[in-house]
Amino acid sequence: MPIGQHIDRRGPRGSWRAVALAAIAALALFVAPPRAGAQNRNSSARNDITNRVQRETAINLPSLHPLVERVLPAVVNISSELTEQAQTGLPGDEGDQGNTPFDQFLRRFFENQMPQFHREVMALGSGFIIDPAGYIVTNNHVITDAHKITVILQDNSRHPAKVVGRDPKTDLALLKIAVGDKLPFVRWGDSSKVEVGDWIVAVGNPFGLGGTVTAGIVSALGRDINEGPYDNFIQLDAPINRGNSGGPTFDLQGQVIGINTAIYSPSGGSVGIGFAIPSNTAKDVITQLRTTGYVTRGWLGVAIQSVTPTIASSLGMNAAHPYGALVASVNPGSPAAKAGVKQGDVILEAGGREIKSVHELPIVVADTPPGHPLPLVVLRDGKTAHLVASVGKMPKQPQVAMAEGPEQASGLGLELSAITPKLRERFGIPKDVEGVLVTNVANGSPAGALGIRPGDVIQSIDQRPAKTPPEAAHELKEASAKGNVLLLLNRKGISEFVGLSIGHGSSPG
């Protein structure tokens, strides 16, 4: 049998199987090419989608290098030298074991005879140049108590700086360095156009490392962190650490929209919550510092407080959405007094701006130049009134805008007395404060829960003057029947409205 020949001995059944296998193979030859083509098309489509996403991502998230390259030369490091007296471990400093007369004599002797040792303490911060002549913005706390300030430029050159002006209330300062050549500088942006979610870039000197760039977004606007009377911070999530203070926050156009000032950090490091002074606030302050060396602000002459839900209910306002600034006192002869503002008014608008929270009013007033009119809308006796105040100049130390037997205020746990000369002296009540004196507060009473204490003076009840203890007790009884009472209390010369809810449990307002 020739090599290569094969005889199938399986008969007809084997032949049909062979034919079937051959047919399947032939069909596969025709089907396979289209399947391969579909796979190629799917792969190509996926590649197109990936490329398109990459292109769009590249467009939406460009490199920040061009921006950083442009602004970084204008950002500086600031080194402040402070003198701190070192502890000397003098005799008599051993706690309870060093309290004998002899120990005290030794302490006084050594304090007078031993030289006082001092050590230099360095405070590091950041700043930025706003003028090629060498004017630099930073935080006031970066240079407070410094006897020597050095500005370090990006080329590592060091230059002594002098303080042009400081404003502790906004924590801003303006420095000046003398350099022969014109310096790189950055421009102010408009912080009123900043929106939550906008991308920002922060540059500074964290932990003394030198020029460092971080990026993030605007997390919130108008933050009040109880740092001062004009808090209106921009909240950022860009990593900001110690040493970033005074450094700039830029928008994507390279303009300064904030000055990094504070962080919220239980650990001392960045947790993604930083705060920057808005550029519009800083720009006005820095302009005044450069011109005069100090800041002049508008003054209205009122002491104000928040409108709580309980107080809002007492005034006939919507307790679910309280707003405005409640006037606790009006300084005699102040712009507010001349305009007709009264104690108990709620200032709803100032200068055409709605006062949503109490901290907004000082900002509006401070930004109004002295002598300029400030239109006010106030709520008084359930009705709105329109007033116009001529804003004054804020004084350096503005004043705060402050013989019968005991009477029991039924249901409130208060004991009330007339203000006698002895009681006035005992509780330190100013001579010009009149009303009814609280001489005792029952434990667990509604008044006690509110925080009222002996020595407080009730000046008015539901905005009616409190004249005598019996009258005050009667008015409190009538007012408490309504469920809410609005009291004007004076504590050591400071007046404040408080709202008290009475009924299914009392709660301070």
Q: Give me the residue spans of the domains in the chain.
A: 191-292, 298-393, 407-501
Q: What would the pLDDT profile of 90-121 be if each residue is shown by its tens digit?
A: 333 333 344 455 455 544 454 455 454 455 66
Q: Does position 30 have pLDDT exceeding 50, yes or no?
A: no
CATH 2.30.42.10 is the classification of domain 407-501? yes
Q: Clarify whether 245 is annotated catalytic.
A: yes
pLDDT grade for 257, boundaries at 50, 70 and 90: very high
Mean pLDDT calculated for residue range 49-70: 71
pLDDT grade for 43, boundaries at 50, 70 and 90: low
Which CATH number is associated with domain 191-292?
Answer: 2.40.10.10
Q: Clarify whether 321 is annotated catalytic.
A: no
**β-pair partners for 408:** 415
User: Could you tell me which residues come within 8 angstroms of residue 130 by beta carbon, excluding any fewer than 6 positions away?
Assistant: 136, 137, 185, 186, 187, 188, 256, 286
pLDDT grade for 48, boundaries at 50, 70 and 90: low
Distances in Å between the alpha carbon of 248 and those of 245, 289, 294, 440?
9, 18, 22, 54
Q: Do domains 298-393 and 407-501 have the same CATH topology?
A: yes
Q: Which of 79, 80, 141, 417 is catalytic?
A: 141
> CA 138 to CA 171: how far, in whole Å?
9
Q: What is the pLDDT of residue 443?
A: 76
DSSP class of residue 188 equals: B
Mean pLDDT, all residues of the chain:
78
- Residue ranges of alpha helices (H) inside 376-468 are 421-427, 446-450
| 6: amino acid identity, one letter | H
Fold type of domain 298-393: Pdz3 Domain (2.30.42)
More reliable by pLDDT, 414 or 191: 191
Query: Which structure tokens are listed for 495?
Result: 């007046």
pLDDT grade for 28, boundaries at 50, 70 and 90: very low
User: Could you tell me which residues come within 8 angstroms of residue 323 by beta carbon, excluding any fewer than 6 positions away?
Assistant: 307, 348, 354, 355, 356, 357
Cβ–Cβ under 8 Å, residues 339 and 367: no
User: Could you tell me which of 282, 138, 278 has the C-alpha nearest to residue 195?
Assistant: 278
Q: Which of 245, 279, 329, 501 is catalytic?
A: 245
Q: What is the pLDDT of residue 279?
A: 94
Q: Clarify whether 386 is annotated catalytic.
A: no
User: Could you tell me which of 127, 135, 130 has the C-alpha nearest to residue 185?
Assistant: 130
Q: What would the pLDDT profile of 273-302 be if each residue is shown by its tens digit?
A: 899 999 999 999 999 999 999 888 899 999
Q: Which of 171, 231, 237, 456 is catalytic?
A: 171
Q: What would the pLDDT profile of 335-387 be if each residue is shown by its tens digit?
A: 999 999 998 899 999 999 999 888 889 989 988 989 999 999 999 988 999 99
Instruction: Read off the pTM.
Output: 0.60
> CA 151 to CA 125: how far, in whole Å?
10
User: In angstroms, how far is the first alpha carbon of the chain from the final one?
Assistant: 114
